[in-house]
């Protein structure tokens, strides 16, 4: 295993989001860029839906990638400034505003009682999952999902008192599988604001880097706690995305 450098992390993060935009973000000049692509009509693995519009704002660069079916109403907007474009798109459809993060370097090197979860830890994870999602029907998929991701070392958890208090999982990725991995985080309500999620997420990022995998984090822009958690373990703001999901 070779730990991934921050240069490689930045390159992969840029390349990952370039897939959504269907253009290389790093090579773009400041200003507006419009990309009509059938890729935005594809159902995305890990999301189970289509991002028929993906608008990314990174500094002075704004990219609007959209499915061909939106061409008729996107064409007149090509003269708009980013703020006007976003306002008009939100008027037509409710867009999800997401904060996209870039891992810039580890800030933590101690992880308390957080551990990488192994396949033998499935009973603990199942009990944790059912506590977090009491109405969910697992029907065998949960075990299959856990076993696959745990075999790669992608699950971390904070264990105390014979149970898991916080868990980082690894959803399926729509692009660049085995190069970049999103980190999801769940914490039991009674265990929040005690540092368990921070230890668990920091270990998740560390473990991914050791396996040569780029850590990836994104959340709703209004989720202040998630953004703060990400920043506390080494992420910085990369870009903002406005997404129309169908």
pLDDT at position 3 is 82
pLDDT at position 2 is 59
**Torsion, CA 73, CA 79, CA 80, CA 86, rounded to 10:** 40
pLDDT at position 134 is 87
Handedness of CA 207, 209, 210, 211 (dihedral sign): positive
Return the closest-CA partner of residue 153 out of 121, 109, 198, 118.
Answer: 118
Q: Are 172 and 45 in contact (CB under 8 A)?
A: yes
pLDDT at position 135 is 80
Q: Which residue stretches of the chain have pLDDT < 70?
A: 1-2
- CA distances to 33, 111, 119, 166, 219 from 71, rounded to whole Å, are 14, 49, 47, 44, 28
- pTM for this structure? 0.93
- For the chain, domains (ranges, CATH) are 6-101 (no CATH), 114-216+223-235 (3.40.630.30)
């Amino acid at each position: 295993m070779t730990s991934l450098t921050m240069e490689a992390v930045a390159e992969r993060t840029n390349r990952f989001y370039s897939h959504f935009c269907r253009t290389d973000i790093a090579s773009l000049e400041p200003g507006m860029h419009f990309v009509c692509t059938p890729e935005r009509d594809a159902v995305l693995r890990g999301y189970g839906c289509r991002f028929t519009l993906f608008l990314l704002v990174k500094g002075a660069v704004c990219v609007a990638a959209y499915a061909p079916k939106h061409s008729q109403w996107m064409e007149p907007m090509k003269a708009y400034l980013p703020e006007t474009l976003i306002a008009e798109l939100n008027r037509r459809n409710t867009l999800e505003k997401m904060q996209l993060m870039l891992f810039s370097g580890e800030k933590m090197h101690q992880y308390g009682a957080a551990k990488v979860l192994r396949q033998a830890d499935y009973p603990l994870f199942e009990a944790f999952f059912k506590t977090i999602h009491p109405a969910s029907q697992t029907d065998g998929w949960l075990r299959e999902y856990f076993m696959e991701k745990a075999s790669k070392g992608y699950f971390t958890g904070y264990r105390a008192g014979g149970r898991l208090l916080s868990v980082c999982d690894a959803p399926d990725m729509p692009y660049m599988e085995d190069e970049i991995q999103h980190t999801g985080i769940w914490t039991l309500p009674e265990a929040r604001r005690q540092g368990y999620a921070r230890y668990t997420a920091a270990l998740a990022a560390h473990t991914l880097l050791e396996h040569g995998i780029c850590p990836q984090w994104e959340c709703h822009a209004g989720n202040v706690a998630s953004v703060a958690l990400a920043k506390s373990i080494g992420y910085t703001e990369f870009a903002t995305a406005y997404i129309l999901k169908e």
